[in-house]
Structures are given as structure tokens and as C-alpha cells.
Structure 1
Amino acid sequence: MTGLPPALTVIPPNHPLVGRVSPPGSKSITNRALLLAALANGTSRLSGALKSKDTVLMAAALRQMGVTVEEPDATSFVVTSTGRLQQPDSPLFLGNAGTATRFLTAAVATVDGEVIVDGDEEMRLRPIGPLVTALQSLGIEASSPTGCPPVTIRGKGSFGEGRVEIDGGLSSQYVSALLMAAPLGDGPITVALSGNDIGARGYVDLTLAAMRSFGADVEQIDAGSWLVQPTGYQAADLLVEPDASAATYLWGAAALTGGKIDLGVAADAFTQPDAAAQAIIAQFPNMPAAIDGSQMQDAVPTIAVLAAFNNHPVRFVGIANLRVKETDRIRAVANELNRILPGLGTEEGDDLLVASDPNLAKKLAGRNALTRIETYHDHRIAMSFALAGLKLTGITILDPACTGKTYPQYWDMLAGLGVKLVPTA
């Protein structure tokens, strides 16, 4: 849909959603591959890639640093680089793209000169202090007065050498950022966790696989440390797999309507952590009473909306990191569930409790007023709560265009499955 209105009301289809949908390329893999291709000498071709706000911002930042990024079609990037990033003539603006911001904060330390990494108002509230501290321990001059972007890095053309410890409890992206920059060191670099906690460890595995695709020599020493050799990177061609986080909305839509949506790829073929959500969604309406979301964080809002219709209440645990995403997703999900029905969502510490009701649709059937879902500029809140509109009348998503961050075709996808969407003032 082009020219999206300020709000969209989802009309319950009252029939199973059936069809075939190809999810967009993985945002996580696309942004890793773009950066690694920019750090590689030669020309790399990325196919099946995601073109969305987050990846467009990453590509624009790389162009600012002398990298040629061409886009021959809707799902491809062709990246040509000398293997070294050049000093940009202005700050890198990365909106609210967490992957791009964290990854580039480490990578630009290899620039010979000063680089400022910045974002929008929401990004300026997202913590980056642990990564800045880790860079400083490598002898890199980096500063972030607020502990959030903007970050100023004064690089000397290399990433140093030795051992660097990082607290990965808030985000695995800090760990991935250091790992991806480490092959540009003066000598071997050991990246080690300073504690046992790490957000979504599976994304580090995703990083390691991408690094090896571009020629990195990285060895996992134990569960909390990795040895990276100073090999640099070699240009490579990479096929980006579909986005598992986007797939959760399709699995959820099928489960809620009793339909069947063919994604063209089996759940066990994904390498991304959020694919683990499929096994839980498949149990709907008898999903577990307790769900650990620590290793599939972006799937939690999707599952939480399904949980509203489950046969028994669901408690989500291990999700503290959701408080430092594009918005505080624990609070946002609870708030919007309660907008549907007071008491439906409850925050208990960093847990989220959903007071499921399998008769929710019948209970609210006579309600005529619109339920205007606040999305907090967060694509995942918008896409998840649109699923509630498949069962409930009046669900209206504010700022539907925010889905362009990772899934620009989201509303077209729903419409293509037979869901009616009504522009709303």
C-alpha cells in the first residue's frame, strides 16, 4: 500500500487465511552482510536482501564512508569497497536502527579520524555504554556522555589487539559489533563476555556465520569467549534467508484464523533465533503457561497478542531486554492489551502476564467503538496488534507506516490474504 493513512482499521476476515507469502529478507543478516561487504576488499553481491528503513540507513552510512553500494533490483545489493572505511564529512544518522548503530559504532573505530554515530530521538534513549567502555579498553578513543547515542569515535585506522570484555546482558548486538570489527585488528583479538548473561545468543551465532562467509577466522574458545584472527575480509556473494521475525506474523495469522500460509521455507530451515517461535505458535490455543522469550525477543509481541486468545493465561519471562528496544515493549504490549480489555496485560517486574480469554472475541463482539492501538513508532507493536484485528472488530493501528522499518510490504501482505484494511482518520 502506498501513501499509508494516519491509521488503518483491520476488518476481521471471518474465514481462514490461506495462501502463499514470501517473507522479506532477514534484516539481521542483511545489515551484517552490508557491513562485512563494506569491510571486504572487492565486490560482493547480496541477494534476497531486505530493503527497509533500517537497511537503507545502513547502506547510506556506508556510502558516506566511501563504499559503493548499488541496488540493481528490489532484493539485491552490490557492494564494492577497498576494505577500509573512510572518514565521513558529517555525522552518520541511523534513525532508530539498533543493529546499524551498534555495529557501526565498533566498525568506525577502524577509520583514521573522527566519526560521530547518531540517531533519532528514540535511538538517543537506547543504551550503548557497555560497547563504548569495551572500545575504550582496546585503546580506542570513544565517548558517549549520556551512555546513549550520539557516540564520538576517534579512530587510528585499526581495531587494536589483545583481549576485550563486554557486558552482553543488555544486547547481543554489542558482542556482534566487536566480533565483526575484530578481523581488522593489529593482531589477534579475544572477545569475552564479562558475565554469563547475553541477550539472544543465537544472534551471535548468526554473526559468526556471516563473518566466516566473508573469510574471517574466528574460533569459539568456550561459551563466553571467541578468538578472532586479524585476517580482514574477502568479498563474497551471499544469499540472505527470509526474515524469521517477519515469519512470526504469518504463523500467527494462520493460527488465529485456522488457516494455512505457505512461506516457501520450513521453520527448521531458518538460522535466526526467532524461528523458535513457530513451535510455540503451533500449540495455539494451548500455548505454554510460561514462555521464556530471552532467545526470541522480537517474537514476544507476536506471541503475546496470540496469548490474549489462548485457553489459559501466559506469563512471559526472560524478557527484560525488551525494555530497551525501539520502545519499552513490555510496557507497550501491556498498555495496548489493556486498551483492548482492561486487565488483559500486566507487568510484574520484568515479566509480562497475559490474562488469556478464549472467548475474548465473543465478549467484545457488541462493542462499536474503535480500539486505537498506539504503536510508539515501533514496527513490531504495529504488526503484532494488527493480528488482534483478525479476531476483534474495531482494531485500529495508528502510524501504520512504521512497519517500513523492517517489513514495508506488511499491509499489502495482509490485503493479499483477503484481509480488508480501512483507512481511518
Structure 2
Amino acid sequence: MLSPLPPALTIVPPNRPLVGRVSPPGSKSITNRALLLAALADGTSRLTGALKSKDTTLMAAALRQMGVTVDEPDATSFTVTSIGRLQQPSGPLFLGNAGTATRFLTAAVATVDGAVIVDGDEEMRLRPIGPLVTALRSLGIDAICPTGCPPVTIHGNGSFGSGRVEIDAGLSSQYVSALLMAAPLGHGAITVALTGKDIGARGYVDLTLAAMRAFGAEVEQLDAGTWLVQPTGYSATDFRIEPDASAATYLWGIEALTGGRIDLGVAADAFTQPDAAAQAVIAQFPNMPAIIDGSQMQDAVPTLAVLAASNNRPVRFVGIANLRVKETDRIRAVANELNRILPGLGTEEGDDLVVAADPNLAARSRPARIETYHDHRIAMSFALAGLKLSGITILDPACTGKTYPEYWDMLAGLGVELQPTT
């Protein structure tokens, strides 16, 4: 065990194929959806295969503040008992930089009878939530958000209302998911409609709908951008959470970079999460396509970009403007850190990311201390570079605890030498 983690870790290239069996952690996206839906359901729900990480811990803590009993019988399970309604907390809900928890709860707490403040850390206070707040107001919900980013103050009246709500989901599909999950607690049917065709990672809306239906919601998709949700409330259920596809991209990347074989215990086509589409692209390494549309597999883009650095041809990533409003501006962060490895390797062109690519990168690169910007995906993706390039040091490796607390132990378990540094 690498605990506690040092301020920095230097990865020593293994110079051999990495082979082994690794079970990815549970899906963060599905875990946080299931936690919320179980909290909105009357009775006791048992969630298995769940992720225990910083983000899901923050969600569980917020639910406990609102009267929900959340027990943790083992390392991958939650038992959630609720009366089917959230109660007014005694203080603000602090959600760190957990985007899913913040957006989902901003809508859900509108069903509380009383005022609730949804807040986060300094990074979360820079992440936009204005479109969701505007949508809530259109339902007659008293929502106050002076900066367009958290904190948000919601004055709930015990119901999510009824009627039609329109949402601009160009920045994040999480706005749509937030409205959909709260809609069964309305006093009448609610129609959720997109105001345009653009939506970040539509596949995550499908995850939301599947989870809602598992907890008893009745949702009808009227067309590609409109859903009708009945005021059924939710019923407690036992729910199995699949492994995290975003985490799996690092394991597929390990295979590709080292010529190894990692048994994940689950086939790529068995995932329902959109990031699983990255496997087909990774499988083409070192001949990945010249243009990669990352719009529907956004969290996989940093992984793909690190692989692209050693590709046989340059790669342009398109459809990734939403990466600018993640935990950090990931387009800029990836470009910056690629250029630490080799100047000119990464370039921002508008909202595209162009990776110059150099199949001989291992011979030309230089030692680099990778700034992670408190972003777990920057840390985990650039650690892959260290499997081929000497001198890659990851700063603030503990930030991976947001979604993959065992990441460094996984690498060590595969035989990768990790040198603590300062």
C-alpha cells in the first residue's frame, strides 16, 4: 500500500509488457445516481459494486445531512434507508469539487421544505451551473445563484412542481440528468426538453434513465431531446453498479503502451457508460485516427491524448469544448503538460486539442514534473506516459482519490516501480 501518498511520484518505465488482472472500481457516475435515487425512495435500498471515493463520500455525507441513513456494510456497498423525501439540513451542503453531486443535488433539494445551500470548494465555485438554475426558476422554484456558479441557495416547498422545463445542456448533460431525477417528485407530470441539439455526453442521460427506471420511475422519451416524467416518486430496490468505464480507459491504455494484457473481468462491450467507446480507439494504437471526436467520451480524452503523443501520426481532438469546464480546463491542462514533456507536443486550436505525435518520443522526451491541477484525470492519464518515458513525475498524486483511490496500488501491483519524491 502506498499510504500516505507522498507529494510526488516518479514512474519508472517497466520496459516489459504489463500483464495481470485488475478489477476497476465501481462507476462514479452510476454510484452517485444510485445514491441519490435511493435517498429519494421510500424504504431500504442496497447498492452493490459501488465506488467509495472522495466524490461519492461527499454525496453520501450530504444525504446524511438531509435525514437519510447511509450505511456502508463493506468496501463496495451502501445500504440507504429513507422516507422517500429529503429533509432540510442544519447547514450548507459542502460538495468539494464533485460536479455530479453538486448538479444533481441542486435540483433534488428543491423538493425539500425549506432553504438549502449547495456549495463547493474554490474549483467548484468556478464551474458553471447557471443553465440549471434558470431551468429550476422556470418551474417556479426559488433558486438564487449570483455568480452563475455555486453556491446556490434553493428555497424548496416540498415538491418539484409540474409542467414543462427547458434546459440548455450544451455545457453539461448533468443538468438534464439533475432535472430528470428530481422530476418524479413533482405534483404533476413534468416534461424535460432540450433547447438545442447540443448536449454534452448524451450517453450519461441514458445512464440516468436506466437508473431511474430501476427505482420505479416512469419516463417516456418523446423525441431525441424531450422526456415526459410521471410523478410516481421512487421505490427502494437492490441495485448493482457496474465497473467504471473511465477507469477502464487507463487499463486499456496500459495494455496498448506496454504490449501487455490486463484482464478487467468485464468485456468492453458490456459497459453501458459512454467512455467505453474509447476502447475501440485505444485498440488502434499506435495508428489511432487523425481526428477523434471526444464529445461522447469526454473523460477518456486525457487518456487518449497521452497515447496520441506516441502515435504514428498527429491527432486532432474535436467536440471537446466541455472539457474547459471540468475539474480544471482539461484542454489547456493536457496541452500544457504534454509540452513539459516535449515543447510543441500539445497545441490548443480554438476548442480543439492537437497532439503533434512522435513515435520516437521515448528517445526525445525529457524529465518532466507534471502539474495535475487538483484533477484526478490529469494525474492518472499522465502516469501512463511514465510507462514509456523516463523521468515522469506526477505532482499531488493523492488527487486520484476523487474517483480511483487504489490507482497507484494498481500500478504497483502490476509491477510498476513508483519512487516517492518531493
Residue 423 (1) aligns with residue 387 (2): no
> Which residue of structure 1 lines up, in the alignment, with residue 270 of structure 2?
269
Letter of the aligned partner of 1:168 in structure 2? A
> Which residue of structure 1 lines up, in the alignment, with residue 303 of structure 2?
302
Residue 382 (1) aligns with residue 383 (2): no
Query: Secondary structure at the residue paired with 2:292?
Result: strand
What does residue range 308-327 of structure 1 map to in structure 2 within 5 Å? 308-327=309-328
Letter of the aligned partner of 1:417 in structure 2? L
In structure 1, how many angstroms separate the alpha carbons of the residues matched to 2:123 and 2:21?
35
In structure 2, how many angstroms separate the alpha carbons of the residues matched to 1:183 and 1:91?
24
Query: Secondary structure at the residue paired with 2:3?
Result: coil
> Which residue of structure 2 lines up, in the alignment, with residue 211 of structure 1?
212
> Which residue of structure 2 lines up, in the alignment, with residue 90 of structure 1?
91
Query: Secondary structure at the residue paired with 1:28?
Result: helix
In structure 1, how many angstroms separate the alpha carbons of the residues matched to 2:87 and 2:112?
6
> Which residue of structure 1 lines up, in the alignment, with residue 222 of structure 2?
221
> Which residue of structure 2 lines up, in the alignment, with residue 115 of structure 1?
116
* CA RMSD after TM alignment: 0.4
What does residue range 353-368 of structure 1 map to in structure 2 within 5 Å? 353-364=354-365, 367=366
Residue 403 (1) aligns with residue 400 (2): yes
What is the CA distance between 1:259 and its match in structure 2?
A: 0.4
> Which residue of structure 1 lines up, in the alignment, with residue 9 of structure 2?
8
Structure 1: segments with no counterpart, 5+ residues: none
Letter of the aligned partner of 2:231 in structure 1? P
Query: Secondary structure at the residue paired with 2:338?
Result: helix
Query: Secondary structure at the residue paired with 1:25?
Result: coil
What is the CA distance between 1:2 and its match in structure 2?
A: 1.1
Letter of the aligned partner of 1:343 in structure 2? G
What does residue range 113-262 of structure 1 map to in structure 2 within 5 Å? 113-262=114-263
What is the CA distance between 1:31 and its match in structure 2?
A: 0.1
In structure 2, how many angstroms separate the alpha carbons of the residues matched to 1:169 and 1:150?
21
Letter of the aligned partner of 1:372 in structure 2? R
What is the CA distance between 1:297 and its match in structure 2?
A: 0.1
What does residue range 30-49 of structure 1 map to in structure 2 within 5 Å? 30-49=31-50
Query: Secondary structure at the residue paired with 1:14?
Result: coil
Letter of the aligned partner of 2:18 in structure 1? L
In structure 2, how many angstroms separate the alpha carbons of the residues matched to 1:244 and 1:119?
26
> Which residue of structure 1 lines up, in the alignment, with residue 70 of structure 2?
69
Query: Secondary structure at the residue paired with 2:73?
Result: coil
In structure 1, how many angstroms separate the alpha carbons of the residues matched to 2:113 and 2:363?
63
In structure 2, how many angstroms separate the alpha carbons of the residues matched to 1:253 and 1:373?
18
Query: Secondary structure at the residue paired with 1:72?
Result: strand
In structure 2, how many angstroms separate the alpha carbons of the residues matched to 1:381 and 1:264?
25
Residues 288-323 of structure 1, C-alpha deviation per residue, up to 9 Å, x if partnerless? 000000000000000000000000000000000000
What is the CA distance between 1:188 and its match in structure 2?
A: 0.3
Letter of the aligned partner of 2:120 in structure 1? G
Query: Secondary structure at the residue paired with 2:310?
Result: coil
In structure 2, how many angstroms separate the alpha carbons of the residues matched to 1:332 and 1:165?
33
Normalised by the size of structure 1, how large is the TM-score? 0.99
In structure 1, how many angstroms separate the alpha carbons of the residues matched to 2:94 and 2:209?
26
Letter of the aligned partner of 2:391 in structure 1? G
Query: Secondary structure at the residue paired with 2:74?
Result: coil
In structure 2, how many angstroms separate the alpha carbons of the residues matched to 1:276 and 1:109?
35
In structure 2, how many angstroms separate the alpha carbons of the residues matched to 1:85 and 1:258?
50
Residues 375-394 of structure 1, C-alpha deviation per residue, up to 9 Å, x if partnerless? 00000000000000000000
In structure 2, how many angstroms separate the alpha carbons of the residues matched to 1:324 and 1:363?
32
What is the CA distance between 1:363 and its match in structure 2?
A: 2.0
In structure 2, how many angstroms separate the alpha carbons of the residues matched to 1:363 and 1:9?
18
Q: After TM superposition, which residue ranges in structure 1, 4 or more long, deviate above 2 angstroms?
A: none
Residues 200-248 of structure 1, C-alpha deviation per residue, up to 9 Å, x if partnerless? 0000000000000000000000000000000000000011000000000
Query: Secondary structure at the residue paired with 1:44?
Result: strand
Letter of the aligned partner of 1:403 in structure 2? T
In structure 1, how many angstroms separate the alpha carbons of the residues matched to 2:286 and 2:244?
24
> Which residue of structure 2 lines up, in the alignment, with residue 392 of structure 1?
389
Structure 2: segments with no counterpart, 5+ residues: none
Letter of the aligned partner of 1:405 in structure 2? K
What is the CA distance between 1:273 and its match in structure 2?
A: 0.3
In structure 2, how many angstroms separate the alpha carbons of the residues matched to 1:363 and 1:44?
54
